[in-house]
């Protein structure tokens, strides 16, 4: 029977523990805590104002959309098929959108103008914004860039604080 040296046993034990426990670097996505992570909802003309903004002047439809804003300022937006239904078809007339983060009903950050495909209504972007560490009643409104501050065509609201 061959005996291992004490340093070799300690080294083996350390390696076994490291192999069985998740690494902090691997377990963390490095992006901080979420201020909001929610699905986007298209606006309808019958929607009430949100944070003082009116819904778009026409009803919108959305195949899929989601937004995530982290306390380190990373904002991820993914939109597929944000369009206006028209007689026999759907299309998107908006070439540029801005995602605006509100905390407690107050605008705190925005993505700046981002491209959206015409007529598909698709957009995908990641930007860094000056986000607060905490955000009560987090809301993100998607606005056509020329109408930022007056109209929204999609929205996402946090379900917690």
Rounded-to-integer distance, Cα 23 and Cα 9, Å: 21
| pLDDT at 50 (0 to 100) | 96
Residue 82 within a domain: yes
- Ranking 15-24, 64-73, 86-95, 109-118 by mean pLDDT, the lowest is 15-24
Do the Cβ atoms of 125 and 140 come closer than 8 Å? no
In a domain, 7, yes or no: no
Decide if 128 is inside a domain. yes
**Mean pLDDT score, 81-108:** 94
Q: Which residue has the higher pLDDT, 3 or 69?
A: 69
Indicate whether 132 belongs to any domain: yes
**For residues 61 and 106, what is the distance between their CA atoms, to the nearest angstrom?**
26
Containing domain of residue 71, as a range? 30-157
pLDDT above 90: percentage of residues in the chain: 70
Residue 145 exposed, middle or buried by CB count within 10 Å (0-12, 13-18, 19+) = middle
Counting the structural domains of the chain, the total is: 1
In a domain, 3, yes or no: no
The span from the CA of 2 to the CA of 74, in Å, is: 55
pTM of structure: 0.79
> Is pLDDT at 18 greater than 90 in this prediction?
no
Q: What is the 3-state secondary structure (H, E, C) of the chain?
A: CCCCCHHHHHHHHHHHHHHHCCCHHHHCCCCCCEEEEEECEECCCCCCCECCEEECCCCCECCEEEEEEECCCEEEEEEECCEEEECCEEECCCCEEEEEEEECCEEEEECCCEECCCCCCCEEEEEECCCCCCCCCCEEEEEEHHHCCCEECEEEECCCC
In a domain, 9, yes or no: no
């Amino acid at each position: 029977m061959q005996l291992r040296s004490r340093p070799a046993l300690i080294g083996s034990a350390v390696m076994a523990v490291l192999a069985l426990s998740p690494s902090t670097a691997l377990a963390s996505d490095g992006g901080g805590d979420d201020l909001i992570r929610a699905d986007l909802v298209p606006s309808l003309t019958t929607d009430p104002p949100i944070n003082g903004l009116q819904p778009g002047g026409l009803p919108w439809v959305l195949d899929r959309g989601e937004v995530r804003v982290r306390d380190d300022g990373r904002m991820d937006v993914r939109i597929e098929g944000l369009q206006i239904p028209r007689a026999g078809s759907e299309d998107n007339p908006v070439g540029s959108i801005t995602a605006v983060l509100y905390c407690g009903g107050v605008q705190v950050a925005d993505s700046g103008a981002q491209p959206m495909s015409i007529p598909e209504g698709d957009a995908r972007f990641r930007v860094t914004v000056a986000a607060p560490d905490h955000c009560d009643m987090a809301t993100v409104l998607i606005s056509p860039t020329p109408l930022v501050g007056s109209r929204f065509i999609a929205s996402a609201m946090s379900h917690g604080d």
